[in-house]
Structure 1
Amino acid sequence: MPRRRPGALRAEQCGPRIWEDLSPDRIHGLSARASLAIHRVEWLSGDYYIYPGSTERALRRYQEFLAPQGRGPLYPRYAQCSCRGCSFDDVRHAPDVLEQVLQELPARPRAELKRQVASLDAAYLKSTLPDPFARHRQWRSDLWWRRRLADGEEGG
């Protein structure tokens, strides 16, 4: 009877990993390798706002907000609720999620996602106006995307 390789024995002991059981969808604009790395980060993150699909949702929300609608400046709106689903009503939550995911990614997938986020950040910076009183209004005024003028409550 042939001898089994140590790697095969260890693989049986550990069992399948979470991200091997599920085949994640590829995130539009990113490679399959980067999408898989993001999927792993989302599954293993302990953060309430980082969950499977949150990165893709953040990218989509950021792009929707920046879609050309007119020539005037854009004003983010506050979310009425801070739960996982409603928090994306405020577009400024999308860069929060993306920044958190970027910090946890390995180098190559981080660089790939960062290129996509950098172009969105440049468009956001160009399309919105600075808020001179953000230090007094915002709870996270240390983040540049939180220091932009907002319009008020969502739906109001």
Structure 2
Amino acid sequence: MPRRRPGALRAQPRDSRAWGDFVPVRIHGISTDSTLAILRLERLSDDYFVYPGATDRALRRYRAFLAPPGRRPLYPQYSECGCRGCSFDDVRHARDVLDEVLRQLSSRPRAELRRQVVSLDAAYVRRTLPDPFAASRQWRSDLWWRRRLAGGREGE
């Protein structure tokens, strides 16, 4: 029986029935095995804000918030609405999603994701200012990233 050429094999469409409409994408800085564990957790999660691709989106949002060069303080902005898409306007919500995913992951993928988040957390603490009145302003003032000054638009 003749074998198929490699080009003919590559030209065949991939079977994406296992993932449904969502095509898995590797999360930058995370190994393939850990990325698959995170995607599996996102698919099986009951949390409204943890959905397929939410961890990658949260990491990208967190990095983008801390990306502007300089030493000026950064102020997280409040999101306009509480839906899945708009809630990522507030970088603190992105950190909430990362915290929820870290809480639910198994040990090896958790350690890998935690390494990424810890370095971003250190930059977040350096670039934002503490809010002395956070206990009266924030609904989740028990979380340290919610006890930072916020308001206005980012970049101002």
Relative to 1, partners in 2 of residues 1:72 and 1:128: Cα closer, same or farther, differing over 3 Å?
Answer: same
Structure 1: distance between partners of 2:126 and 2:68: 12
Structure 1: distance between partners of 2:42 and 2:34: 12
Structure 2: distance between partners of 1:24 and 1:107: 21
What is the aligned partner in structure 2 of residue 66 from structure 1? 66
TM-score by length of 1: 0.83
SS in 2 for 1:30: coil
What is the aligned partner in structure 2 of residue 21 from structure 1? 18
Structure 1: distance between partners of 2:123 and 2:68: 10
Structure 2: distance between partners of 1:141 and 1:153: 21
What is the aligned partner in structure 1 of residue 86 from structure 2? 86
Structure 1: distance between partners of 2:101 and 2:136: 27
Paired positions, count: 136
Displacement of 1:68 after TM fit? 2.5
Structure 2: distance between partners of 1:98 and 1:54: 9
Residues 32-73 of structure 1 show CA distances to partners (whole Å, capped at 9, x for unaligned) of 000000001100000000000000000000000000333210
Residues 82-115 of structure 1 show CA distances to partners (whole Å, capped at 9, x for unaligned) of 1000000001001100000011111000000000
Structure 1: distance between partners of 2:145 and 2:77: 13
Displacement of 1:20 after TM fit? 8.1
Question: Structure 1 vs Structure 2: percent identity of aligned residues?
Answer: 68
Structure 2: distance between partners of 1:60 and 1:66: 10
RMSD: 1.6
What is the aligned partner in structure 2 of residue 112 from structure 1? 112
Counterpart contact for 2:66–2:124, Cα < 8 Å: yes
Counterpart contact for 1:77–1:152, Cα < 8 Å: yes
What is the aligned partner in structure 1 of residue 75 from structure 2? 75
Counterpart contact for 1:79–1:153, Cα < 8 Å: no
